[in-house]
Structure 1
Amino acid sequence: MELINNHPWREIMLSDIVDVGRNVNESNANWEYIDTSIAAMGTIAHAQLDIEKIQERALLLLKETKDMRVVAHLLRTLQHGKKPHEITLALALFADYIENFWQTAAPQPRLKLRLFKQVIQRFAQAQSTFETESTSIEQEVIRVQLDRIKSYFLNQNIQLDDAFIDLDRALTNIATKSAEKAERASSENTEILAQSSSAESKSDLPPAPNITISQHSDTEWKRTLIKVTEILFERNRGDSISFRLRRHAIFSALSEPMNNDGITDLSPMPADRVADYKSNIAKTDYAQWLKIENNLTVMPFWLEGHYISAQIALHLGHSDTANAIKEELQQLLLRLPMLIDFKYSDKSAFISKDMHSWLSEKKNVQQGDVSLAANSLLQCLNDQGLEEALKMLNAQPITPELRNQFHQQYLNAQLFAHAGFNTIAQQQAQSILLACQNLTLSEWEPSFFEALSDIANNNN
């Protein structure tokens, strides 16, 4: 995830210091505070500990010394809660440290190996929680970090600790089982939907797993939402709800990236990978589609990925999902319109020409569509009541054209009329009539005039 890749603690971990081999000064006030606090972790006094303060002081020390005892204490603050995103960050920090300071930093090798084993054992204690609550992205990040540590020791001809081998095997199995489970669920769902859409068939779906909902921080809330999208995708691949929810999780915290006259420091998705995704759209299956969706989570400003994902949705027969992906991206661009003209660090555009054409395609509401929508709403009114019918109406996307907006208000008035609220219906109808009386045709349906203008300009 981008929050792990760009986490500021990793920069501190990798920061240069004058003497890498320097031991931590045990009379240093920060060290005394950290060491005493960590000793109380897990005891009766644990509730009084200020974890953030421990972390702040550990990070200050890491700017002075790379002593592994400081690193182990910092990792302990992340490991103790067993939260998947903190475990992921902890392992990324540990891999950074191993690759850059294992040979040169304090303390002496024998003590360092003992500390290594303790750190690994604490990762192992979080294994069961990680298996049930981690996202597929976190599982992939964990595998990458384990591979980094393993490769380093193998390249240095250092024997791998048994505890590390067990952890590597266990966490790799978690990721493998998760992928197999998703693939199996997809196959089962396809068979169920092919057989019947009845409630009896739907009951054959496996029960939804329990997840921990955390709103303590934006990061925890985002990963909770991503976990829910993965469960929704696993249970009913291609359904638009999971795709909308993922984009809400990705887009909600986005703001204008740092830039110099529209050129950002953001790296683009590698061109060869994008070309590969595009050329294989017709061959893409659900598992590959999910990988692309995960890439979008990790690289939130890779906007072309949403275009590719929408094309895959069409290929797999999910036109509603393709429209949902486009609508969510359009909403982002309404909020952050500068992204339309922004460029990556190599000066390639955030939005390609194909994307511009795709985003500008208008979905007009024709009279037949209005009639169909009215019939569906009235059926909902008869079956479930006015409240549910209004919810159904409000869930429909609102387009910028006045014609479509007034049609939606007209449907709203119809619902109140059929429900017996004639006064409210009359007031709404009169309001619509007054608003429409002074409109010109070009204001009523601008897309019609745009289409005519395009033809006229092409003929000149």
Structure 2
Amino acid sequence: MDIHNPDVWLTHLLEALPEEKLASKLSDENPQWEYIDGEIVKLGSLNHAQLDVPELQRQGLQLLASESKDFRLVSHLLRTLQHAGNPLLALSVLTQYVAHYWAIAWPQNAANKKRFADQILKRFEPGIAAFAAASMPEQRDALLGELAKLAQCWLACEMSELASATDDLFAQYQRAFRDSSPAVTSSTP
């Protein structure tokens, strides 16, 4: 599995599951989930060097494709992408998740799901300047497009607070892109 290929992420996310698996919580006894949930705490900590992020991602994508669309799993996978400085893929995955699974996937409790989503959105903020400095114009446009689609998905799910938070993130990225672009000077003949 090529975890560097965005299509692999989206294919695994969008893999069809039976209705009961779509809405199910990952079992705490599932060894893959146990591994992922236990290892993710190392991300960004002093134990980060001991974390095998590609293996965590592979196992997480396998679970998404075969067992559950549990939002906790998606949150952990997004965290690995955000930490690695790949906000564009993280936003693509999040947007597709919200469009396809928000209403049916675990947790069904809207307040819990919103809390996870708030955390995910906040985790985009620390990487804004780095992405702005390193990205090409087409990557910037794609990222802003994903943010706009995500805000629309939140509105369709009647999550106006999350749509507003996404719009705020859009504005922060826009500002960073403007500030990191070379100044355009006009010269008169």
Shorter-chain TM-score range: 0.7 to 0.9
Relative to structure 1, the CA distance from residue 175 to residue 42 in structure 2 (aligned partners, 3 Å threshold; closer, same or farther) is closer
Identity %: 30
Alignment correspondent of 2:145: 144
Relative to structure 1, the CA distance from residue 133 to residue 157 in structure 2 (aligned partners, 3 Å threshold; closer, same or farther) is same
What stretches of structure 1 move > 3 A for 4+ residues in a row?
174-179
Of the three residues 65, 68, 81, the one matched with 1:78 is 81
How far, CA to CA, are the matches of 1:12 and 1:156 in structure 2?
Answer: 23
Task: Tell me by how many angstroms 1:79 deviates.
Answer: 0.9
Alignment correspondent of 2:96: 96
Task: Tell me by how many angstroms 1:135 deviates.
Answer: 1.3
Of the three residues 60, 66, 70, the one matched with 2:69 is 66
Task: Tell me by how many angstroms 1:129 deviates.
Answer: 0.9
SS class of match (1:37): helix
Alignment correspondent of 1:156: 157
Structure 2 unaligned runs (5+)?
Answer: none
SS class of match (1:26): coil
Q: Which amino acid counterpart does residue 25 of structure 2 have in structure 1?
A: N
- The structure whose RCO (Cα within 8 Å, separation 6+) is larger is 2
How far, CA to CA, are the matches of 2:173 and 2:11 in structure 1?
Answer: 26
How far, CA to CA, are the matches of 1:146 and 1:121 in structure 2?
Answer: 13
How far, CA to CA, are the matches of 2:74 and 2:6 in structure 1?
Answer: 19
Alignment correspondent of 1:117: 118
Relative to structure 1, the CA distance from residue 5 to residue 36 in structure 2 (aligned partners, 3 Å threshold; closer, same or farther) is closer
Alignment correspondent of 2:9: 9
In the alignment, is the contact (CA less than 8 A) between 2:32 and 2:60 conserved in 1? yes
In the alignment, is the contact (CA less than 8 A) between 1:150 and 1:160 conserved in 2? no
TM-score (normalizing by structure 1): 0.37
How far, CA to CA, are the matches of 1:160 and 1:5 in structure 2?
Answer: 32
How far, CA to CA, are the matches of 2:5 and 2:58 in structure 1?
Answer: 20
In the alignment, is the contact (CA less than 8 A) between 2:81 and 2:87 conserved in 1? yes
Q: Which amino acid counterpart does residue 170 of structure 1 have in structure 2?
A: Q
Q: Which amino acid counterpart does residue 102 of structure 2 have in structure 1?
A: W
How far, CA to CA, are the matches of 2:93 and 2:51 in structure 1?
Answer: 22
In the alignment, is the contact (CA less than 8 A) between 1:34 and 1:58 conserved in 2? yes
Larger radius of gyration: 1
Task: Tell me by how many angstroms 1:42 deviates.
Answer: 1.7
SS class of match (2:106): coil
Task: Tell me by how many angstroms 1:10 deviates.
Answer: 0.6
Alignment correspondent of 2:45: 43
SS class of match (2:160): coil
The total of aligned residue pairs comes to 181
How far, CA to CA, are the matches of 2:157 and 2:68 in structure 1?
Answer: 23
TM-score (normalizing by structure 2): 0.87
Structure 1 unaligned runs (5+)?
Answer: 195-460
Task: Tell me by how many angstroms 1:175 deviates.
Answer: 4.1
